[in-house]
Amino acid sequence: MSLEKDIELFAKSVGLELYDISVARDGDDTIYRVNVLSGTFEDGKRKGVSLDECVNLTRLISPLLDVKPPVSGDYRLEVGSAGIERKISSLRQFEMSVGERVALTVKPKDKIRGLLVKVVDSKIFLDVEGEEVVVDFSQIAKAKTYFEW
Protein backbone atom coordinates (compact mmCIF):
# COMPACT_ATOMS: atom_id res chain seq x y z
CA MET A 1 0.00 0.00 0.00
CA SER A 2 1.22 3.54 -0.72
CA LEU A 3 2.25 5.96 1.98
CA GLU A 4 -0.59 8.30 0.99
CA LYS A 5 -3.16 5.48 1.34
CA ASP A 6 -1.74 4.58 4.76
CA ILE A 7 -2.00 8.21 5.92
CA GLU A 8 -5.55 8.39 4.51
CA LEU A 9 -6.52 5.31 6.56
CA PHE A 10 -5.04 6.79 9.74
CA ALA A 11 -6.93 10.04 9.11
CA LYS A 12 -10.22 8.17 8.61
CA SER A 13 -9.62 6.22 11.81
CA VAL A 14 -9.82 9.48 13.78
CA GLY A 15 -12.74 11.02 11.85
CA LEU A 16 -10.70 13.12 9.41
CA GLU A 17 -10.37 13.10 5.62
CA LEU A 18 -7.03 13.49 3.86
CA TYR A 19 -7.23 16.56 1.58
CA ASP A 20 -3.69 16.68 0.27
CA ILE A 21 -0.03 16.08 0.99
CA SER A 22 2.73 18.40 -0.13
CA VAL A 23 6.44 18.91 0.34
CA ALA A 24 7.64 22.48 0.80
CA ARG A 25 10.96 24.20 1.41
CA ASP A 26 11.47 26.92 4.00
CA GLY A 27 15.06 28.04 3.71
CA ASP A 28 17.11 24.92 4.41
CA ASP A 29 14.15 23.09 5.99
CA THR A 30 12.02 20.54 4.20
CA ILE A 31 8.40 20.41 5.37
CA TYR A 32 6.14 17.40 4.77
CA ARG A 33 2.58 18.80 5.03
CA VAL A 34 -0.51 16.69 5.59
CA ASN A 35 -3.73 18.69 5.20
CA VAL A 36 -7.04 17.28 6.40
CA LEU A 37 -10.72 18.14 6.64
CA SER A 38 -13.18 17.03 9.27
CA GLY A 39 -15.23 14.00 8.31
CA THR A 40 -18.10 15.34 10.43
CA PHE A 41 -20.88 17.65 9.25
CA GLU A 42 -23.06 19.89 11.43
CA ASP A 43 -26.12 21.70 10.04
CA GLY A 44 -25.05 20.73 6.52
CA LYS A 45 -21.59 22.27 6.93
CA ARG A 46 -18.29 20.51 7.44
CA LYS A 47 -16.96 21.02 10.97
CA GLY A 48 -13.56 22.55 11.55
CA VAL A 49 -10.48 20.58 12.52
CA SER A 50 -9.22 21.13 16.06
CA LEU A 51 -5.60 21.40 17.14
CA ASP A 52 -6.11 18.28 19.28
CA GLU A 53 -7.21 16.33 16.20
CA CYS A 54 -4.09 17.45 14.33
CA VAL A 55 -1.85 16.47 17.25
CA ASN A 56 -3.58 13.08 17.49
CA LEU A 57 -3.07 12.39 13.77
CA THR A 58 0.56 13.53 14.00
CA ARG A 59 1.16 10.99 16.77
CA LEU A 60 -0.42 8.26 14.66
CA ILE A 61 1.50 8.87 11.45
CA SER A 62 4.92 9.79 12.90
CA PRO A 63 5.90 6.14 13.56
CA LEU A 64 4.80 5.24 10.02
CA LEU A 65 7.05 7.96 8.58
CA ASP A 66 9.94 6.67 10.69
CA VAL A 67 9.59 3.33 8.86
CA LYS A 68 8.67 4.78 5.43
CA PRO A 69 10.36 8.20 5.16
CA PRO A 70 8.40 10.43 2.76
CA VAL A 71 11.50 12.33 1.57
CA SER A 72 15.23 11.78 1.72
CA GLY A 73 17.10 13.62 4.43
CA ASP A 74 15.73 15.55 7.37
CA TYR A 75 12.22 16.98 7.26
CA ARG A 76 9.57 18.45 9.54
CA LEU A 77 6.06 16.96 9.67
CA GLU A 78 3.16 19.42 9.76
CA VAL A 79 -0.41 18.17 10.11
CA GLY A 80 -3.10 20.82 9.80
CA SER A 81 -6.48 21.80 8.51
CA ALA A 82 -6.73 22.36 4.77
CA GLY A 83 -8.50 25.60 5.72
CA ILE A 84 -11.71 27.33 4.78
CA GLU A 85 -10.08 28.90 1.70
CA ARG A 86 -7.98 26.35 -0.13
CA LYS A 87 -6.79 25.42 -3.59
CA ILE A 88 -8.75 22.72 -5.45
CA SER A 89 -6.68 20.75 -7.93
CA SER A 90 -8.41 17.37 -8.37
CA LEU A 91 -11.88 15.95 -8.92
CA ARG A 92 -11.59 14.29 -5.50
CA GLN A 93 -11.00 17.70 -3.89
CA PHE A 94 -14.02 19.10 -5.76
CA GLU A 95 -16.10 16.22 -4.37
CA MET A 96 -14.85 17.01 -0.86
CA SER A 97 -15.85 20.67 -1.34
CA VAL A 98 -19.50 20.17 -2.34
CA GLY A 99 -21.66 22.68 -0.48
CA GLU A 100 -18.93 25.32 -0.36
CA ARG A 101 -18.41 28.48 -2.38
CA VAL A 102 -15.82 28.14 -5.13
CA ALA A 103 -14.04 30.50 -7.49
CA LEU A 104 -12.96 29.08 -10.84
CA THR A 105 -10.79 30.40 -13.60
CA VAL A 106 -11.94 28.67 -16.76
CA LYS A 107 -9.85 28.54 -19.93
CA PRO A 108 -9.08 30.94 -21.53
CA LYS A 109 -9.50 33.42 -18.61
CA ASP A 110 -13.16 33.54 -17.60
CA LYS A 111 -13.92 33.72 -13.88
CA ILE A 112 -16.90 32.01 -12.25
CA ARG A 113 -17.94 32.18 -8.58
CA GLY A 114 -20.74 30.16 -7.07
CA LEU A 115 -21.89 27.38 -4.78
CA LEU A 116 -20.51 23.95 -5.64
CA VAL A 117 -23.62 21.77 -5.90
CA LYS A 118 -22.30 18.43 -7.15
CA VAL A 119 -19.66 16.63 -9.16
CA VAL A 120 -20.71 14.02 -11.73
CA ASP A 121 -17.96 12.25 -13.65
CA SER A 122 -15.79 15.16 -14.83
CA LYS A 123 -18.57 17.77 -14.67
CA ILE A 124 -18.62 20.43 -11.96
CA PHE A 125 -22.12 21.80 -11.18
CA LEU A 126 -22.37 25.28 -9.67
CA ASP A 127 -25.24 27.47 -8.54
CA VAL A 128 -24.34 30.95 -9.78
CA GLU A 129 -26.95 33.43 -8.58
CA GLY A 130 -29.76 30.86 -8.98
CA GLU A 131 -28.58 29.58 -12.36
CA GLU A 132 -27.02 26.16 -12.85
CA VAL A 133 -23.60 26.37 -14.50
CA VAL A 134 -21.80 23.20 -15.60
CA VAL A 135 -18.06 23.23 -16.21
CA ASP A 136 -15.93 20.33 -17.40
CA PHE A 137 -12.97 19.71 -15.10
CA SER A 138 -10.58 19.79 -18.08
CA GLN A 139 -11.53 23.43 -18.75
CA ILE A 140 -10.58 24.64 -15.25
CA ALA A 141 -7.23 26.43 -15.06
CA LYS A 142 -7.46 27.35 -11.34
CA ALA A 143 -9.95 26.70 -8.56
CA LYS A 144 -10.28 27.47 -4.87
CA THR A 145 -12.85 27.59 -2.14
CA TYR A 146 -13.64 30.98 -0.63
CA PHE A 147 -15.47 32.31 2.38
CA GLU A 148 -18.06 35.03 1.91
CA TRP A 149 -18.22 37.39 4.87
| Distance between CA atoms of residues 145 and 123, nearest Å | 17
Helix axes 51-67, 3-13, angle to 10 degrees: 150
Which residue ranges of the chain lie beneath pLDDT 50? none
The ranges assigned to domains in the chain are 3-81, 91-145
Which pLDDT score, from 0 to 100, does residue 12 have? 97
Annotation: CATH topology of 3-81: GMP Synthetase; Chain A, domain 3 (3.30.300)
Evaluate whether the domain defined by 91-145 bears CATH number 3.90.470.10.
no
Strand 29-38 with 76-81, pairing = parallel
Q: How many CB atoms lie within 10 A of CB 105?
A: 15
Which pLDDT score, from 0 to 100, does residue 20 have? 96
- Which sign does the torsion angle of CA 144, 84, 31, 19 carry? negative
Which pLDDT score, from 0 to 100, does residue 94 have? 97
Please check whether residue 71 is in contact with residue 25, taking contact to mean a CB–CB distance below 8 angstroms: no
Whole-model pTM: value is 0.89
| Distance between CA atoms of residues 17 and 81, nearest Å | 10
